[in-house]
Amino acid sequence: MILPLLVTIVLGCVDFGRFAYNYIAVTNAARAGAASAMMNNYSSTTQATWVTNVTTAARQEMTGQTGYTSANLTLVSPAISGSNVSGVTVEATGLRRVQVTVSYPFQTVVNWNFGIYRIPQSLTLQKSIVVRSIR
């Protein structure tokens, strides 16, 4: 009689632990991308290389994660749109702020559907980090 309750609690702890582990990994990937973005300046001719380097830094941070698929990690910003880099703000004083946003899909082990009480089985973890450019 108590076994179903205990199994539900254990599986809930497993799913919550996996969620927290992956969210921390996404946060660390955003921080790694932000660190690369703030330490390396870009010009109009090196924008594409700069965005590629930020993406590479974020992906390399995630490589140690269990079940990580590189193609699923998305760098929402910075991105190149036309001749501008989105996610970069230049203030009147010349201070440049960079916003790095990383997203990664997450899938629960158990389908938590209990009638009106429902937890989505798949969701997208997303984290944004804003830093000021040093160089």
- The string of pLDDT tens digits covering residues 84-126 is 666 777 778 878 888 888 999 998 888 887 777 777 888 899 9
Predicted local confidence at residue 48, as pLDDT? 81
Question: What is the distance, to the nearest Å, from the Cα of residue 13 to the centroid of all Cα atoms in its chain?
Answer: 22
CA gap 18, 132 in Å, rounded: 32
The string over 75-102, giving b where at least 16 C-beta atoms fall within 10 Å of a residue's C-beta and e elsewhere, is bbbbbeeeeebebbeeeeeeebebbbbb
Per the model's pLDDT, the better-predicted residue between 28 and 133 turns out to be 28
Total domains in the fold of the chain: 1
Banded model confidence at residue 67, pLDDT cuts 50, 70, 90: confident
Predicted local confidence at residue 80, as pLDDT? 64
Note the pLDDT tens digit of each residue in 22-36.
Answer: 999 999 999 999 898
CA gap 52, 75 in Å, rounded: 10
Work out the average pLDDT over 2-18: 90
Contact 99, 76 (CB under 8 A): no
Domain that holds residue 40: 3-132
